[in-house]
Structure 1
Amino acid sequence: MTLQPAVGARRADRPGFLLDLVTGAETDLASVQRLAEGAAVSLAGAAGVALDAAATLTRAGNPPVTAGSATRAYNIASSEDRYSDGPMAQAAASAAPVQVTGGSGSQRWERYRRRLTDAGYGVALAVPLELDSRSSCALVFLGPVGFDFTPELVGEAAWFAGVAAQSMKLAIEVRSVRSAGDNLKAVLESRTSIDVACGVIMAQNRCSYTEAFGKLAGVSRQRNLKVRSVAENVLKALPNGSPVTRFEPPALA
């Protein structure tokens, strides 16, 4: 069933709370793992009982990334992708918390409920993280048999998801910037190798840059190699070996 957070449960002004999904997390999986572990600890404190949590992040053009605070929590979350069922997908689609209990008579979650009880859980609460149009993420909190997520706990879970969403968006943005920087560096280094090789060919053959590049391109086609690889081979053949090429990004003020 779809739930609404308790009134006043979103305490966005709670001081001192920061979910760091960036520091030391070099991959999406590392951030999702940290998210799942932080979620379990956060809600367990409010609930007064041990809870597990799992999260799934989906980014356009990439397979879903799932992690859990415990192996069985990970298995429950990853099973949703295999069986195309479960509350996490509905929570992400409806932008609202969804709860499934092991003893409910509803037929909708029958297969999921069976996996839930087989794993030793009695209840699951899924909450969405609002990211952007190209990314989606959902958390699922898993409680023991006999436990119930009260409206207050649903509110706590929704509040945590709000904080986590901002943290995950920051992690994705930082990772995208790093990736763009790495790609730019590779492009510039490739361009440098080609330019230096063209200079060598120009000096040896007394030709223009266009003619030198044409020679590199011709060898590239003949040998089925990238132009950069041909250029690097030219530089390695120099008497003193290939010159060192470096790209240092400008310092930011």
Structure 2
Amino acid sequence: MADGPANNEGPDRQGFLLDLMTGAEDEAASLQKLAYASARWLGTAAGTGVECAAVLYRQRGCTATAGSTPEAAAVAASEDEYPDGPAALGTALAAPTVVGQAGSRWQAYRRRLLEHGFGAALVLPLELQPGVSAALVFLGPANHAFTPRVTSEAAWFGEVASRSLKLALDVHGVIRAGDNLKQVLESRTSIDVACGVLMAQNRCSYAEAFSRLAGTSRNRNLKVRSVADSILKAMPSGAPRTRFDPPAIA
């Protein structure tokens, strides 16, 4: 996988992907890497400095934004503040859309671009997965025009960016699920051990011990895990440590 522009021609283009995971701890970091790589790629195709603003939307979640420069990041952030921008409407766009100069439907958006030092924008919707969408906004300098050739290159790059970002989101999702499972297992272990302590102290069944934990949880307005941890910490030897190591991958 590559992290930036390689040879823009040749048979390797079909299987080309962007490495959006190396050094990226979360989805926001992967989106930032995509903004950097996108700016470099299209800037090479355009033969001039092009920046990139990236926006990630979730139907049930916060909008994430990134930019290849602070100015591009400000443009991306404004998409959340002004929902009339082309990136905010990116899911309704079927193809790359150029925000031109005179006579454009995006006049208010163009004024915001100019405030950040940009003269034109090329909006690229990304196909991801149900409930999740994204858009890249390539930003050109004053008096810049995105040619049909560059727009065509952006359309191809959009396919690469979509596959790359979708893969990164899937991987982050798996990592999140693993972390959540680890928390559940650790919580369950603490509760089970605390129930064992109560069973030994009170000569009762597991169900009765857990009922005691649950009752204390309700009376003190604490989570059952917190009550269990307090019992274990009070033990002479202290709370036993839980450790869950992922299996080694050959």
Do the structures match in fold with TM over 0.5? Answer: yes
Letter in 1 for 2:185: L
CA distance in 2, matches of 1:10, 1:218: 68
Instruction: Quote the residue 2:5 is aligned against.
Output: none
Q: CA deviation at 1:139?
A: 0.3
For residue 77 of structure 1, report the CA deviation from its aligned partner. 2.5
Normalized against structure 1, the TM-score is what?
A: 0.89
Tell me the residue number matched to 1:29: 28
Question: What is the alpha-carbon distance in structure 1 between the residues aligned to residue 218 and residue 90 of structure 2?
Answer: 52
Paired positions, count: 243
Where does residue 239 of structure 1 map in the other structure?
236
Give the match for residue 51 of structure 1: 50
Q: CA RMSD in A?
A: 2.0
What residue is the counterpart of 2:189 in the other structure?
A: 192
Aligned with residue 123 of structure 1, among 97, 120, 132: 120
State the alpha-carbon separation in 2 of the partners of residues 15 and 219 from structure 1: 61
Aligned positions of 1:2-17 closer than 5 A: 13-14=12-13, 17=16
Asked if residue 153 in structure 1 is aligned to residue 189 in structure 2, the reply is no
Q: Aligned-pair distance for 1:172? A: 0.6
The counterpart of 2:103, out of the listed 97, 102, 105, is 105
Q: Which has the higher contact order (CA 8 A, sep 6+)?
A: 1
CA distance in 1, matches of 2:160, 2:15: 12
Q: Following TM superposition, by how much is the alpha carbon of 1:235 offset from its aligned partner in structure 2, in angstroms?
A: 1.2
Following the alignment from structure 2 to structure 1, what is the Cα–Cα distance between the partners of residues 11 and 190? 52
Q: How far off is 1:15 after superposition?
A: 6.7
1:178-216 per-residue CA deviation (whole Å, 9 max, x = no partner) reads 111111111111111111111111111111111111111
In the alignment, structure 1 segments of 5+ residues that lack a partner are: 1-8
- Contact persistence 2:52–2:138 (CA under 8 A): yes
Q: Which residue of 2 aligns with 1:39?
A: 38
Aligned-residue sequence identity (percent) comes to 59
The answer to whether the 8 Å contact 2:17/2:163 transfers is no
Task: Report the equivalent of 1:134.
Answer: 131
C-alpha displacement of 1:152 = 1.0
TM-score normalised by length of structure 2 = 0.90
8 Å CA contact 2:90, 2:134 repeated in 1: no
Work out whether residues 91 and 98 of structure 1, in 8 Å CA contact, stay in contact via their aligned partners in 2. Answer: no
Residue 214 (structure 2) pairs with residue 217 (structure 1): yes
Would the alpha carbon gap of residues 12 and 90 (structure 1) be closer, same or farther in structure 2, given more than 3 Å must change?
farther
CA contact (8 A) 1:22 1:31 kept: yes
Match of 2:169 among 169, 172, 184: 172
5+ long unaligned stretches in structure 2: 1-7
| SS of residue in 1 equivalent to 2:166 | helix
Alignment-derived partner of residue 3 in structure 1: none
Q: Is 1:78 equivalent to 2:77 in the alignment? A: yes
Aligned to 2:3: none
Which amino acid is 2:39 matched to?
A
